[in-house]
Amino acid sequence: QVQLVESGGGLVQPGGSLRLSCAASGSIFSINHMGWYRQAPGKERELVAVITSGGSINCTDSGKGRFTISRDNAKNTVYLQMNSLKPEDTAVYYCNADLPTPIGYLEVWGQGTLVTVSS
């Protein structure tokens, strides 16, 4: 069974930075897309950024040029570097991965890590 574990969340002051990590473990042979989503209190989940196995990146307006996604294929880990954090960035951040199988893709989600931006 494949498991995703997020880490790096916590309390940070406005203008500060955090680096989120998501490590995949288990029976893994390859991973296609890996992405970061977030869900703020009372709001729907939204995509923050996604990165393919080849390194192609797509970022939404959520990060507003402040966030950077990257991955280490050797470690099956995806990162989200968040700079110039704002209170509106407060949310639970979820890691997602798509694993190819002979009959399609297996979608795996982490349990989330809470990011709180407050003075």
Q: Which of 51, 47, 77, 43 is nearest to 63 (CA)?
A: 47
- What local confidence, expressed as pLDDT, does residue 78 receive? 95
Low-confidence ranges of the chain (pLDDT < 70): none
Pairing of strands 113-117, 10-12: parallel
Report the 10 Å Cβ neighbour count for 75.
10
Going by the DSSP 8-state scheme, the letter that residue 73 receives in this structure is G
- What local confidence, expressed as pLDDT, does residue 53 receive? 86
- What local confidence, expressed as pLDDT, does residue 56 receive? 86
Strand partners, 94: 37
